Structure 1
């Protein structure tokens, strides 16, 4: 049987894990912490997991590798140079790991994303010889880009960027054009230096499309470092957890909170997060809550916004939605929410005055309001607040807008000028989160629930680009 490689996608974090097998035994690469997905897949395929491998100590999620190896009895392959607090099979450059008569792994040192980053070439036996089917590249060679090089601190970013260039070139030289490229990052992950939309790729395709394989080293380093934006604050906790050895997860339901309990939690300064779609939140929500719908990257923004360790309560339409949120949160080390409540928003309020609405508009309404024709029912904008990231702002923004990236907003609420705030992002998700934070601080706010790409066409004046 030819090698089968199945992706296990974690779209909320922009990552992929892999199960590679010959139909009998399997290799799992860079598993997420909710390993039940992988165990189910392996069971459905009738595959016994014999090897679990990490390309690097991850900075964007807590790994499930240690627990998966413990449960399955698989060998756990981790870079020999990484200092970890658990037993593993140490591997390094040049190691060849037999998996079965049909499969083997070759270990290639590819520093850049981290100093001890490894890639794994998957060889399959063909006509009595070994042929490379592809390579698991982790945060090294990605689709159209590479993993970012500043996650270990700015002082290492330049050196690691040079390593990243050399590592990508080495993979391209070692492998045939037809070899598949199987990266972990790059599908929305902040571990990626930039984003690409490709569904799959090969070494040959990357030679044509990837700047790291077309630019000289110095030019690549300059462009890569110049293009890096901020990354989530919770990353500071991921590498530490992965080096120590993550504990098993507990996804059982958390305690329920009644209306009085929710009021007490909000009054105590805890985070109460509304997981419903932003339109439902705008129609009616519990005052003091924060909107982070499950339809977007909830865990990324929540982990970035909160003070680490603060109690979190989850609100949703159904218990199933709370369970989905719990699964997302354990991936970034938020193991047990403090409480949950489900059902209609009216049931979360201890008294009628606790329910609020958010006003919403589109960019056409903003254009009209700025020309003196504010639509009925909306207050005129004194401030237009852009909560997108710096790279987005630099690429183009509304004339006269104030820029505070969403992750900075909790600590910079006082920097938002006085008056009614109309807030926007790229689509409405982050703007609604920002509006909830502003409303909780007593500000009058309107959410521009619209795509930023429509702003100019709607008549909104844009700032001149330098």
Structure 2
């Protein structure tokens, strides 16, 4: 049969892993740490995993490659130039790896995202030789963009950006226009210089659409470096874990905490995270908790906000939601939450006074408040806080707003003027997290639970971008 490539998406981190098979044996590319998803897919297709490959030492998640190779007995392909602490099959630019009579991999050095980054061309046997079906590009050539080049430090960013340009050009010259492009990043991952502009792509499409293949090297480097925003603080730990060789995951249930224990954990300064939707949190929540709902990229923001190693307790409606959160967290190296609690919110309170509400509004309400007609039940806004990232702020923001990106908020609370804070982001998710952090310091906060593109049409005055 023809080679088949299946996508294993991890939307919460903005990444994709792949399983490519000829109906009998399979290659797995850049697997996430929760490898049971991969094993299930291989079992469903009735194929044996013989090769696990890494395009690079990942910065945005802990790899499951080492454990997957151990369990399946597969060969584990990692760049020979990467200094790792485990046995692997070292591969370099120009190597060819036979997978079966009908499938092979060609290793192409594509530095840029990292110095030793590799791409893998997937070839399929034909009657007269081999045909390039596509290429697994990791953090090199993405859909309409490329992987960012500053993750190894600002001092290397320009050099790596030049490498990234040359690597993308090399792939475009090497492969036919019809070859598929299968990147790992670009679907929300902060490893991407910008976000994917399509759900799938080919070399031909990238030649037509991707700036890296349309701009000269110096112009690409300048534009790429100028467009980079901050990336999650937890990235600092990912490369270390992946180089050392990640341990197997343990997704068994963690300790259940009662109301008294939750109060003690909050009092001790631990993070107690409410995984429910932000509207449920606003209606009633346990004082001292932080809102990071499972409907958004919970693990990314939590891993970015906390001091690494801080004990985390999870609150949710159901045990299944806690299990989902555990799975999300192991992907970024937070292996075992300290405790959890589920059920009705009033069961989490040791006394009635521990339950709080969080006022919510929208942009029409903000416009009315700015005009002196604050809707009933809401406090007047003294401060408008924008917790979006810098690139979002630069693209457009509310006149007079204070800008503190959400990841910076815990250490910049003293930068915020006194008074009632109305806080917004792009949709309401980050704003609710920010408002919960503010409320935990005694500030009065209102969440603008609305899409930012509705602000100006609602009558909210925008800053002159001049």
Please report the TM-score for the alignment, with normalisation by the length of structure 2: 1.00
1:126 CA displacement: 1.1
State how far apart, in whole Å, the 2-side matches of 1:412 and 1:350 are: 31
The list of structure 1 runs, each at least 4 consecutive aligned residues, that deviate by more than 3 angstroms after superposition, is none
Q: How does 1:63-462 map to 2 (within 5 A)?
A: 63-462=63-462
C-alpha offsets along residues 19-59 of structure 1, whole Å, 9 cap, x if unaligned?
A: 00000000000000000000000001000000000000000
Equivalent residue for 2:62? 62
**RMSD over aligned Cα atoms:** 0.4
Q: What SS class does the counterpart of residue 19 from structure 2 fall into?
A: strand
Unmatched runs of 5 consecutive residues or more in structure 2: none
Please report the TM-score for the alignment, with normalisation by the length of structure 1: 1.00
C-alpha offsets along residues 127-158 of structure 1, whole Å, 9 cap, x if unaligned?
A: 13100000000000000000000000000000
C-alpha offsets along residues 75-112 of structure 1, whole Å, 9 cap, x if unaligned?
A: 00000000000000000000000000000000000000
Q: What SS class does the counterpart of residue 167 from structure 1 fall into?
A: helix
Q: What SS class does the counterpart of residue 201 from structure 2 fall into?
A: coil
C-alpha offsets along residues 219-245 of structure 1, whole Å, 9 cap, x if unaligned?
A: 000000000000000000000000000
Q: What SS class does the counterpart of residue 453 from structure 1 fall into?
A: helix
State how far apart, in whole Å, the 2-side matches of 1:292 and 1:379 are: 24
1:317 CA displacement: 0.1
1:320 CA displacement: 0.1
Q: What SS class does the counterpart of residue 254 from structure 2 fall into?
A: coil
State how far apart, in whole Å, the 2-side matches of 1:182 and 1:153 are: 26
State how far apart, in whole Å, the 1-side matches of 2:128 and 2:104 are: 13
1:196 CA displacement: 2.2
Q: What SS class does the counterpart of residue 273 from structure 1 fall into?
A: strand
State how far apart, in whole Å, the 2-side matches of 1:196 and 1:424 are: 25
Q: What SS class does the counterpart of residue 171 from structure 1 fall into?
A: helix
1:311 CA displacement: 0.1
C-alpha offsets along residues 192-215 of structure 1, whole Å, 9 cap, x if unaligned?
A: 000124110000000000000000
1:116 CA displacement: 0.1
State how many pairs are aligned: 466
